[in-house]
Structure 1
Amino acid sequence: MKASEDSRSLRFFETVLELKEMHSGLGLTLLSVAVLTVPIPAQPVPETFTLNVPDGPISSKSGSSISLLCQVSPTFNIEPFEVKWYRFDEVNKPTLWYKDHKIQEAIMDPRFKGRVSLTGGLERGIASLRLERVTLEDSGEFVCYINNNNWYEKTCVVLAVSVIGSQPVISVAEARGGGQVNVTCSSEGWSPQPKVTWRNKEGTEITNGQEVQNTTDSQGLVSVSSWLLFSPSESDWLSCIVFLSDEWKTEGRILPVLPGGDYKKGFTVNQVLLVVLPVLFLVIIICALCFIIVFKRKGQIDQGLNVAETKRLIKENPVQSPANQTTSDNKDKLEENPVQSPANLTTTDNKDKPEENPVQSPANLTTIDNEDKPEENPVQSPANLTTTDNKDKPEVQSPANLTTTDNEDKLEDLLLGKKVKEEHITTDAKTASLAIRLSQKGKRVQYVKAKDKPDLQQSIHVLGNKGFDSGQHYWKVKIQDDDRKEEKLAWYLGVTKENAQCPLTPQNGFWVLFYEKEVGLHVYVDSVKTPTRQTTPTTVCVFLDCDKHTLSFYDADSGSLLYTFNDVKTTDTLYPVFSPGKRDPQPLKIY
């Protein structure tokens, strides 16, 4: 067959050359068509082949996606072949089965349905297995099996799944003697067993007195605890890092403060300034206010005394006032017109008017009557009060006014200035963790731990039913009821992207404010736990400004600012996130 095709092609080329002599343009066109129509033989399928897979285990993080490579050698099209992936000891329950040019889903393992696919391209001899949302149960050996009815090959690929545990919880207790404190760092939910290291503010590793203990639960997850003796005067910060590798790690920081807020060995300069400067600033403001008030009152009293003294002199000497005596020309006028008032003589332009009309007009009498009114109010006359009060009001501020001016971040001023309406948000039950119980209206979020099996989830939260990508929005969450005496031990609030993954950091799409009783309020900055103001609000207001890319948290009772994220930059829609924590059953209530 191939010799016949070559003979026909040769005769066609000879015809093209003859036509080329008649018309070169037409000949070139036909020559191109002839070259394109010459059949290219398909690559033959070899009688035998081998499979290429990675030499060692493939590592993956829980919740991520991974591809298990499997490729035939030599390379050829394996679309007509049978391709099967299965667990090492479960050949009858294939993870994925490709046959007759399609996926056979009928007998696939239910655990992998919707999570597996073939990738790489069968036409290029690649039959790699793509596995989505990897779990710890996926760890182990997977077999790649390829068959063409004449020859088959199979080989194993090992998958090692790692689980990143919870963020470290750090607490401080007093040690016996020596001016040191006992710092404890705990984290749970790891696989395999992690390592723990302590570092100070300068990044130097601390090893003195360190102890580590590991425990494994029934699911194979490891909890780690470490103790360290530490002197508070050695560093401002103390860091606990739990890690599997440089990429897979969590870190927590804490100020080595004893319960009650005191250091075992005095205070640092920064801490003293942090306390003294605000108090000094407040004292200066109060002294300035007192000085202004006293100065104003003293000026009013002096002015009233001067007015009273002038009236007394006028009454004792109705003919001449001190103002009349300062001008020699007016002195003679008074002798001719003893009835005139000092007000008439103080103006030079009115010198001659008393001679023409020695009897005063009603207008003059009105002026005299008005001059007697300061006796009723010796501090200021009505005219003076009108001018002085309007002039001095902006200069004098009450302490309430100064408080509003100094706290520009007050919640009430911010919301009124921006005219933002409160969002009425409920929870989306489809996004709730298994350990969360929601009320019928979706306004109450409570943690409920199942008794029959341990909770393996790293994050316990639920998303709101509304998402935002523009404008300003705020909502309020009740943390602690007034009638409850028990303090809520842990919670976190904020916003997140719809498909964000753990850990709960801005880099992974979580902008949240955390609370833990031993640590207080804190956030994650560059994946590092950073404490904020050490207050415990009962109601938190969350304010999201999508246009300015900011997220702020306020104490809704006092209106004070708790923390602001200034770099909430994302093109995705942001959803409110609510977590009651997993340390107590007290619920969160959404307004």
Structure 2
Amino acid sequence: MFTTFGNRGTMHLGLCLRVLILVALTVPIRAAQPAQETFTLTVPNGPTSTLSGSSVSLLCQVSPLFNVEPLEVRWYHSSNIHSPALLYKDHKIQETPVVPRYRGRVSLTGGMERGNVSLTLERVTLEDRGEYVCQVSSEQWYEKASVFLTVNVTGREPVLSVAEARGGGGGQVNVTCSSEGWSPQPKLTWRNKDGAEIRNEQEVLNTSDPQGLVSVSSWLLYACSYSDWLACTVSLSEEAKREGRILPHIYTAPTAVPGVYKEALIVTLILSLVIICALCSVILCKRRGSMWSSSQKSRNRSDQAELGQRPADQTELGKGPAETEHLIKGAENTVQTPTEQSAAGNDVHLEGAENTVQTPTEQRAAGEELNLNDWHHVKIFKVNILLDEKNAHPAIRINKGKRAHYVKEKDTEKPSRTHLHVFSEERFSSGQHYWEVKVKDGTTEKLSWYVGVARENVDKRPAVPLTPQNGFWILSYDKEQGFHVNTDPQPPITVAKLTIVGVFLDCDRHTLSFYNVDTKSLLYTFTDVKTSNYFPLLSPGRCDKIPIKIN
């Protein structure tokens, strides 16, 4: 009897377990069935933010939870109600009538069987910002809700300048800070060298360009100082910010001191006029001497011709009037040193004339400031650059040290590094140097390229990214992403047309600037390029056989 009772108890227990399992399996299935009544949509309360060029999910959830695969889901921008960004209908995403710029960039990735109809948007652009409407419809009911998308764009580094304050009293100067290319409107903050925020007597102005990017500028009156710097920070967040610093004083001649810069300026102008007058006198004397020499030679030739003798200088006799005039004009632009004048048999009448013509580097040493925004100011430092074929990636072919081609790599080759670029033969450790790279030839557009500099003995392993922290400072172009520099975050660089890139390296100031030679405008400047030796480098791009060339 005991055994029989145990078997019956076991049977009853097994039956109960089967019923419980059946109930557990049935509940989710019933919850997943389409709703027969009304429903609502749940979306975020605040805006959804993302960076330009990244991906973002616009959240939208059906409540209560049920399978929405049989329903219609429609996402559209509030500015274009009749043309959706995404349309899900008849159990699939429809190709039409969606807005063309969203094709291939949108998808439903939340899990429709669980009532999640969130929209994922790839490769976000500034044009994508704004209000998006999520609409879910059944045969008996429909509901819609709005999600706001903001696209953050980090602008350029602030540009600071100092000017004399109006009235010139109180020992104060007017300090200006400006930065452009931001979205949405950034915050501008002034701080002193101790990090304390300056709030008094400042003005802030915000303006927008046709693309919707914001430019911000501010100015304040501050006590003139040669040691207490000011910092101007423009930011969207702690991660997306730019900062510039400046000493709040007006630059004067090296011998000037605060309070007497006007007198120093007058003295400098007088000295400049004296030097110019001296140079003009030298040029005038040389021109008269050259004309007298030509006249004397002509008389000598005439005398020799009358005596039937051969002219002593056959080369000079063969030159016509045009060439003689060219020699006279050329004499105006020739300033010989005293050593050269003595070797030529000329008397030297102006002491120190050899020091009146300075090279660009000597001008910098004398205290002249270099305006990086002026392409004409930096192009005078142009140098000759040759590419080092021995130090090139195996897939790059170098022609005559100037032109770099991409060549298809052999399947049997295993390159020592995946970064496809070539270094120059030259290396720089001091001074200023400018060179140009032609990145477009004719109407054919390249797929990609990059140019810049690298420090000596950089890590060439494939896993090491090309970043300033690893010793690379470059400007890149990619057909999909456009122009950008290798900073984090990457600032947007808008270029309408670019055939030749100008690269200016200032080893003494530790700056690297890129220029659009077509428009003679500044594209971007790295301000902390510090190393002992710099090597120019360039890349013709991967799988792009159109060459680029050092000009």
Normalised TM-score (structure 2): 0.47
**Structure with max Cα Rg:** 1
